[in-house]
Amino acid sequence: MSSAAKTLDLLSHFSDLRPEIGLSQLCRLAGRDKATTYRHVQALEEAGFVEQNPVTKRYRLGPALLQLAQIRERTVPRKAGVEAPLHMLAEATGETAHVAVLSGTTLYALHQLESVKHSTRVLIDVNTFPLHATASGLCALAFGPNELVDLATKTMTRFTPETITTPDALKGEIAITRQRGFAQSSGGYEHDVHSMSAPIFDQTDLFAGTVSVACVATRVTPELTRIIYEHLVLASRGITHNWGGSVPDIIEAAWAGSLTGTEALEPMT
Amino acid sequence: MSSAAKTLDLLSHFSDLRPEIGLSQLCRLAGRDKATTYRHVQALEEAGFVEQNPVTKRYRLGPALLQLAQIRERTVPRKAGVEAPLHMLAEATGETAHVAVLSGTTLYALHQLESVKHSTRVLIDVNTFPLHATASGLCALAFGPNELVDLATKTMTRFTPETITTPDALKGEIAITRQRGFAQSSGGYEHDVHSMSAPIFDQTDLFAGTVSVACVATRVTPELTRIIYEHLVLASRGITHNWGGSVPDIIEAAWAGSLTGTEALEPMT
DNA sequence: CTGTATCGGTTCATATATTGAACCATTGGT
DNA sequence: ACCAATGGTTCAATATATGAACCGATACAG
C-alpha cells in the first residue's frame, strides 16, 4: 500500500456520524502509527482536504473538497437528477431509497433519502457497497461490465450468516437478477435489511449505477415488493433519462416479465 | 514534499476549464515523471478521487469527492447561506461577486457568481488566493489571525507590476484596510481587475472568510465604489449571520466611518 | 503500408523518502 | 500531586518511491 493510498484512506473515516476526529482516534481507526498518521494528516491539511478545529484540535474535512466536488458534478452531473426520482421512490414505498454509482470496479454511495413514514428505517452509512452482499452490488454484477464478476468471486467476505460466499451461489443469483431485471438481497450485508435494486444507465447506454430501496425486513410483504418493483422501474427510467441515457430494451423486457398485469409495464412517453 | 502531497497536488490541475486530463498531460502539468504520476493517479483512482473515462482513457474527478463534500458541508455549513447574499451582491453591483473561506493559513475559493449586466466580467479561476496580492487576502491579513501577516511577508510573489512586494508597503495597506473596514486591491494579482473585500465571521465570532467584488478596472468610479461598499456590508452581515456569527462592533464602526451619509450605516434589525 | 510520434502503461536497479519506538509538553480529571 | 489521556517531535533503520528505458497500441502523413 503506497503512502499516498494510506493518506487518502484516512479520509474514509469521516462520516456524518463522526465528522471530527482527533489524531489519536484517527490512529486507532486507521490502525497506524501516530507519527505516520500525523504526517499524513498534515499532508491532507496542506492540501485543504482536512482542517483542524482551532478549539478542539480535532480534524474535520476541509474546504478544498467543495471545489473539487463542484468540478466533478459539473463534469459528470450525477447528483442533479437523482433527488426528485429518489424522493418519489422513498415516499411511495415508505422505505429508505438510495443511489450508487459505479466508478471503475467500485460502487460508491451517491445519495440517500429516508422516508418519514415509519419510525424505524434503514440508515445507509457506507461509502462503498460490497458487490456480492448487497442488492446494489448484485445489480452491478448482473448488468455492469463482466470483469466485475471475476473480481467479486475472489473476495467474498462474510458479513452475516445470510451472505452469499460461494462463487456458484453468486452466479446463480446473478442469473436470477438478469432474468428478473431487479436485484434482491435479504440480510446479506446487514441483518434485518431487505434490499431491492434496479440498474441505471448513462449517455453511453452502459450500466452507470443503481437505484435501490432498503427495507426493514419485517415489513416486507408480496404487496410491498410489488410496489417497490413498480417504483424502482419509474426511478430507474427517470434517473437514466436525467443522466442522458436510455434503458436497454432487454431490461425493459425483463421488468415487464416480472410485473405482468400492472401499469408499470408501459414505457414512459 | 511527501509522496502523499504530490499525489494530492495532482487534483489541483482539474478545473471547470480542464475537467479531463490524460496521463501524459498530467505529467507535464505536474512536472513529474510518467511512472510516478501513473502510480499517484492510480492511488487516487483506487480511492475514488479520480476515475478514468473508459473511452478516452483520460482521467476526471471521481465520485468519492461528492460524499466527502457532503459530509464537510453538513459538518461546517458554508455554501448554504452564501448563495442568496452573493446573488444580491452581483446583481446590485453588476460585477463578479465571490466568497472565500480561511482554512489554516490558506484562503480557499468557495463560491462565485458573475453578473450578467455587462458583456465583460471578471472570471475567478483560482483555488486559493494569495494573501498579499488580492483584496480577499488583504482582508484576511487585516482581520484574520496575526500569524498570517508573518507568513505573507515571507513569500510576496510578484504577479503584476502593481503587486505589493515589500513588507512595509503591505503593512501600510493592512493598516488602511483595518481602518476602512474594507480591503481593496487594484491589479495586484491580475491586470485590469479591481477588487474590494469585506470580512465574514462565524459562530466563534472570529474571522472566517471574505466576500468580495471583482470589477473590470475600467468601470470603477467613485459612485460604483460607494455602491459596492454598501452592498459588501449587507452581504457580509448576511453571510456572517448565516454562518452563525455576528459582525464585531469594531468592524461596524469602521464601515460606518467609510460610508458616512448612507443608509448602509444602520445595523440590520 | 511504412515511418514516426503520440498515447497509456510497465519494469527494475537505485537511492530517497517513509516509518515507528521512544520521547516531550499540555491538558483534564481524581 | 498524580495519572492518563491528548497533540506533536525526533532519529536511526529500512521499506518505499523514483525515473530512464522499454512495450504495445493507435493515429496520422507521405
Domain match, B92 and B54 both: no
Q: What is the domain range of residue B258?
A: 76-265
Residue B206 lies in a domain: yes
Over the stretch A199-241, which tens digit does the pLDDT of each residue have? Answer: 999 988 999 999 999 999 999 999 999 999 999 999 999 999 9
Domain match, B163 and B252 both: yes
What's the CA A35/C1' C19 distance, rounded, in angstroms? 8
Domain with residue A94: its CATH number is 3.30.450.40
Q: What are the cell numbers at B226?
A: 460607494
Q: What are the cell numbers at A235?
A: 426511478
CA of residue A164 relative to chain centroid, distance: 18
Comparing alpha-carbon positions, the chain A residue that sits nearest to B12 is: A68
Domain match, B183 and B257 both: yes
Residue B100 lies in a domain: yes
Domain match, A58 and A130 both: no
What's the CA A146/C1' C3 distance, rounded, in angstroms? 38
**Total of domains in chain B:** 2
Average of per-residue pLDDT across B90-107: 95
Residue nearest to nucleotide D6 (CA to C1'): A24
Domain match, B165 and B115 both: yes
Which of chain D's bases lie under 7 Å from a protein CB? 5-11, 16-21
CA-based radius of gyration for chain A: 20
Q: Return the DSSP state at B259.
A: T
Nearest chain A Cα distance for residue B167, angstroms: 24
Is B72 close to A63, i.e. CB distance below 8 A? yes
Domain match, B122 and B242 both: yes
What's the CA A210/C1' C11 distance, rounded, in angstroms? 39
Over the stretch B224-249, which tens digit does the pLDDT of each residue have? Answer: 999 999 999 999 999 999 999 999 99
Other residues' Cβ atoms within 10 Å of the Cβ of residue A113:
18
What's the CA A33/C1' C23 distance, rounded, in angstroms? 15
Cβ-based contacts under 8 A for chains A and B: 169
Q: What is the 3-state secondary structure (H, E, C) of B172-224?
A: HHHHHHHHHCCEEEECCCCCCEEEEEEEEECCCCCEEEEEEEEEEHHHCCHHH
Residue B71 lies in a domain: no
Task: With beta carbons less than 8 A apart as the criterion, state whether A41 and A78 touch.
Answer: no
pLDDT at A44: 95
pLDDT at B261: 53
Average of per-residue pLDDT across B121-137: 94
Residue nearest to nucleotide D7 (CA to C1'): A23
Domain match, A49 and A101 both: no
Does B35 contact strand C, using a CB cutoff of 7 Å?
yes
- The domain boundary residue, chosen from A45, A66, A87: A66
Q: Using a CB-CB distance cutoff of 8 angstroms, which residues of chain A are in contact with residue B14?
A: 68, 71
Instruction: Give the CA count within 13 Å in the CB-facing half-sphere of A184.
Output: 18
Low-confidence ranges of chain A (pLDDT < 50): 262-269
Comparing alpha-carbon positions, the chain A residue that sits nearest to B71 is: A16
Comparing alpha-carbon positions, the chain A residue that sits nearest to B47 is: A8
Residue owning grid cell 425483463:
A254
Handedness of CA B258, B263, B267, B268 (dihedral sign): negative
pLDDT at A175: 96
